[in-house]
Structure 1
Amino acid sequence: MVSVLVVGTGNVGFHLYNVFSNIDKIQVTQISSRKLQDIPKADITIIAVSDDAIAEVSSKINNTLIVHTSGACSIQELKNSTQKGVFYMLQTFSKNKKVNFSEVPFCLEAENEQDYKLLENLANLISDKTYSINSEQRKILHVAAVFVNNFTNHLFKIGNDICNNYNVPFEILMPLIQETATKIKVLSPEKAQTGPAVRKDQKTIKNHLALLNKDQQKIYTILTESIQNGN
């Protein structure tokens, strides 16, 4: 049995604690990052806090192996005097949305092979997808993830705003959203691109812009130009 301490009660910490709690081979405890007195001992201590807090929180813990869950921070952001690692899950987490961990890619890093195997064994108890990813590769994945997830979700929000503004149901777009995500499993994003921008349909583009507010027009124009320039 492996003992795990989860430090942090945000979205990532919440889901990790819940999934670990259901695995017989894992003994898990959880504490808030604000309560770092009497820290429980554990084989693996997972710091699931904001990027800016990683250094301070890790400096107060002396357990054997301490890892963070950040995609943007290097392994050296950890300031503990013991062994370091990274246990990064490339997925979006919200407390009110259940996560299927078996489909979540785990990007792992450690300072030595023994610690890496320990992290890999832990990840394999809940996921079918584990990868050895160093700090530089993780930064690249993280910025790519911002485009495909965070920015895409913001575009969903804008689409929802437009529908609400003109009193049409956003739910009609759901099959299109699902097909867009599914299609790139068999086609490259470049080959899957459709729409007025790639067709250079100036009349439709002009009509669309007339329906949008100024901020939406700026975003629409930037994305249209990016598609047309092949960026």
Structure 2
Amino acid sequence: MRITIIGAGRVAYHLARVLSEQHEVVQIYSRTLEKAQQLAEQFKAQAIAQPKELLSDVDLVIIAVSDQSIASVIEQIHPYLPHNLIVHTSGSTHLDVLKKVHARAGVFYPLQTFSLERDIDWQTTPLFIEAANEQDQTLLLELAKSLSKRVYNYSSSQRLSLHLAAVFACNFSNYCYDMAKQVVDAENVDFSLLYPLILETANKATQNDPRQMQTGPAMRGDQNILNMHQQMLEQSQRNDLAEVYALLSQQILQRHQSS
């Protein structure tokens, strides 16, 4: 397939990288030409910074920009690509955001966390597709299967629930790791000592019901330990961590008292 990518950030980079292995990335479009050039040079694509430069002889256009920019991007590029299949890569943006402007609209959402410093295992990454018509749905299905073994036809509402769950499972949990590191850094303790615990927790949560795997003082209702931890955080003047600790402990306590 001949593919154009709109955007030059983390998602755009990882998509360009994996797609270029089996398909042709024709253009990289970014409002900042320098960013488009940096990405395009890696995959032998043309870098552009104006919608009027978009080529229409492509099979697919992928919008890989921030959620809040999707609506404005489709407004900008639709006049130049009125008959092309255009998809976005967002988990939380409804298909209708594209569809109300562009007839051949779709979604190509990888459920993954993207960092420039880390490679992605695309074969195991779930890909969720949706399209305004059956023919484009088939095309996206074929493309997705060329990248991943886990491909799903999900509606916008199903995809939104996954995106919300991903924020809890990924973004919030990573912030908890960040808070844990702040705690041990304050006492010059090696954060890597927590690695086996972090990995075992993730393994248990992915192999069992997370509720059944809950441990810790809040789950046990151990108020002495909870109070001690709270005092430690308050005495270290880490009110931000103290607030999160109190909120999460209370929620865990309530969750397991009702069991």
What TM-score results when the alignment is normalised by the length of structure 2? 0.85
Aligned residue pairs: how many?
228
* Sequence identity percentage: 40
1:31 match = 28
Alignment RMSD (CA, Å): 1.3
1:104 match = 125
Structure 2 residue aligned with 1:129, among 133, 144, 150? Answer: 150
Q: Is the 8 A contact 2:103 2:132 kept in 1?
A: no
Query: Over residues 177-223 of structure 1, what are the superposed CA-to-partner deviations in whole Å (9 max), with x where a residue is unaligned?
Result: 11111112321010010001111111111111122121111101100
1:218 match = 243
2:42 match = none
Q: Is the 8 A contact 1:10 1:49 kept in 2?
A: yes
Counterpart of 1:230, as a letter, is: R
2:11 match = 12
C-alpha deviation, 1:228, in angstroms? 0.9
Query: Over residues 96-143 of structure 1, what are the superposed CA-to-partner deviations in whole Å (9 max), with x where a residue is unaligned?
Result: 111111111101101122111111111111111111111111111111
1:162 partnered with 2:202? no
1:228 partnered with 2:253? yes
Structure-to-structure mapping, 1:67-216, within 5 angstroms: 67-78=87-98, 80-212=101-233, 213-216=238-241
1:192 aligned counterpart, secondary structure: coil
CA distance in 1, matches of 2:64, 2:185: 36
1:51 partnered with 2:67? yes
2:2 aligned counterpart, secondary structure: strand
1:191 aligned counterpart, secondary structure: coil
Query: Over residues 124-166 of structure 1, what are the superposed CA-to-partner deviations in whole Å (9 max), with x where a residue is unaligned?
Result: 1111111111111111111111111111111111001111111
2:5 aligned counterpart, secondary structure: strand
CA distance in 2, matches of 1:73, 1:205: 39
C-alpha deviation, 1:80, in angstroms? 4.1
Q: Which runs of 5+ in 2 are unaligned?
A: 32-48
Counterpart of 2:84, as a letter, is: T
What TM-score results when the alignment is normalised by the length of structure 1? 0.95
CA distance in 2, matches of 1:193, 1:65: 45
CA distance in 1, matches of 2:158, 2:208: 24
C-alpha deviation, 1:29, in angstroms? 2.4
CA distance in 2, matches of 1:145, 1:45: 25
